[in-house]
Chains A and B, each alone.
Chain A
Amino acid sequence: MAEMVATRQAYGDALLELGEKNKDVVVLDADLSKSTTTAKFGKKYPDRFFNMGVAEANMMNTAAGLATCGKIPFVSSFSIFATGRAWEQIRNTICYSGLNVKIVATHSGVSVGPDGASHQCIEDLSLMRTIPTMTVIEPCDAVETRKAILAAVDYKGPLYIRLGRAPVPVITKKEDPYTMGKATILRTGNDVAIIACGALVVNSLAAADMLSKEGIEASVVNMHTVKPIDQETLVKVAKQTKAVVTTEQHVLDGGLGSAVASILARIFPVPVEMIGIDNRFGQSGEPDILFREYHLLPEDIILAAKRAVGRKK
């Protein structure tokens, strides 16, 4: 069994590393620093940590101001409050001005669990992806989260990183290469390609293993950078398999599936099936029960893969 670690935990640790290496790194949080884990940074570097209280819109533009003076702000809250409450601040002040602000939000998806729909953000990929110039990343595990956070500092410009509350299996290794914007192919098969991000990567790998037992060989691609999407890898695996499944812990509208379908429709049309949440809100419940309810399990991915394969010409 793989080790279970929440991606948000890796964020707090990565910030500590960054704080040591780069004195321009500042961190802002909105009264959720224990949950987002930025409190670790706050404890070690109190002068460069700003708890802005329960006031996300103000926090976002304070980060913008800091960025105009050469600071590299990491701004954190739950994904619903960061991307929802402060969307227009992100759009008009941060992105329109091209500012170097890193928004790292935790508690995305239904895996938030018992807090219920109000706290389960299933729209943030879409909300962030549609803003011109925004970069959008969803790491699949804690190890990859560390790499994404470190890479975020080397990239100049606005960026959104989507993290989760619940522990998820560690499936990548420290020494695995990571390049922002470059998808990683985790498994190669010629019958169908599963394009996944975040917590759905591990379920996609499990689905691929089970499909293999039934004689269907799947490629699995970790599309950690949802925007700008790695078009080259995407088209390559689509050409190789001629059937695609997308998987994400997000509404079907506007997320990874939409991004993939939009590229493939224009460049290399193949059947695309999508795993995601279909026009519903989340609800209270444990993450595993909710994954079943919203059809995000390996068995759901298997069915989608078979549908995609069946639709091949």
Chain B
Amino acid sequence: MINVKRLDTKSLEEHAKVIRRSIIRALTKAGSGHPGSSLSAVDLLVALYYNRLRHNPQQPAWPDRDRFILSKGHACPALYAILAEMGYFSTDKLDTLRQFGSILQGHPCMKTTPGIEISGGSLGQGLSVGLGIALAAKLDKKNYRTYVMLGDGEIEEGQVWEAAMAANHYKADNLCAILDQNGLQIDGFIHEIMSSHPIPDKWRGFGWHVIEIDGHNYASILAAYDEAEKTKGRPTVIVAKTVKGKGVSFMENQVDWHGKAPSKEESERALAELT
């Protein structure tokens, strides 16, 4: 069974609002976690999960499913909220985020959470795993695609570039990297801490097909996923310019909102903006 609804932009935006609200609520309840990192990824993830990914929440292990790996694993509240909305588990579980005994661990854990393809939290490792899955698809003559979301701080890890080299070498055109380029890492702006610029040229140099988009514009995001799927002979990276903390004005582009939970009062202000 495949589950690709094709929603229009307006309904995708409505879903995104619901997801952003869930993220704020879950993080407030948890008392820790990464709001900025989760919010910047929401639109890219909503477009992927609601409109492109062939998957089945009732059968998470369906062998022909498209795979998604959140390599910037600290943004998992965004993924958890989407998985819950789609029915992988009950939305009540979001209230247990990061608590003892929860199926929703602080960083992705494939053993406890339905819909999580690989355990993570340590940056730089996901693209290599995605490559392995893409190579398995080719071996098994399967059509499923593999998507991996990376952070722009995360691509400072050397392993990302080892994976980039290998994916091109093996012509993994069924592999698509999604770069959430929000311009921030933990200690500050990317260009001040460890500049990885020029990012698109680096991927081109590694032989990848590069698509540059606004990561909050649904038409561009969906067109990019389509272009990636049509691109043959080499892997594609979607370099998506995003705003860290997108949707909550006082969190947007603020380094301090990388990894702290909103207070009750901040949470209410955030939720008010997301109605």
- Chain B residue contacts of A245, Cβ below 8 A: none
Q: Type the 1/0 row for B173-206, where 1 means its CB is closer than 8 Å to any CB of A.
A: 0000000000001110000011010000000000
Q: Is B102 an interface residue (CB 8 A)?
A: yes
Q: Type the 1/0 row for B21-32, where 1 means its CB is closer than 8 Å to any CB of A.
A: 000000000111
| B106, A116: Cβ atoms closer than 8 Å | yes
| A54, B194: Cβ atoms closer than 8 Å | yes
- Chain A residue contacts of B124, Cβ below 8 A: 54, 85
Which residues of A, 134-161, contact B by the 8 Å Cβ criterion? none
From B31, B105, B122, B158, give the contact of A81 (CB < 8 A): B122
A283 to B98, CA, bound (A): 9
| A33, B122: Cβ atoms closer than 8 Å | no
Kindly provide the distance from the CB of B181 to the nearest chain A CB, expressed in whole angstroms: 14
| A284, B102: Cβ atoms closer than 8 Å | yes
| B185, A53: Cβ atoms closer than 8 Å | yes
Q: Type the 1/0 row for A172-195, where 1 means its CB is closer than 8 Å to any CB of B.
A: 000000000000000000000000
Which residues of B, 73-117, contact A by the 8 Å Cβ criterion? 73, 98-102, 105-107, 109
From B102, B105, B107, B194, give the contact of A55 (CB < 8 A): B194
| B158, A55: Cβ atoms closer than 8 Å | yes
**How would you classify the secondary structure of chain B's contact residues: helix, strand, loop or mixed?**
loop
Kindly provide the distance from the CB of A65 to the nearest chain B CB, expressed in whole angstroms: 16
Given contacts A31-B193, A116-B109, contact A54 B98 (CB under 8 A): no
Q: Is B120 an interface residue (CB 8 A)?
A: yes
Interface size class, chain A: 20 to 34
- Chain B residue contacts of A285, Cβ below 8 A: 99-101
Kindly provide the distance from the CB of A260 to the nearest chain B CB, expressed in whole angstroms: 30
- Chain A residue contacts of B193, Cβ below 8 A: 31, 51, 53
| A289, B194: Cβ atoms closer than 8 Å | no
- Chain A residue contacts of B187, Cβ below 8 A: 29, 31-34, 39, 51
List B residues at the A interface (Cβ < 8 Å): 30-33, 73, 98-102, 105-107, 109, 119-124, 153-154, 156-158, 185-187, 193-194, 196
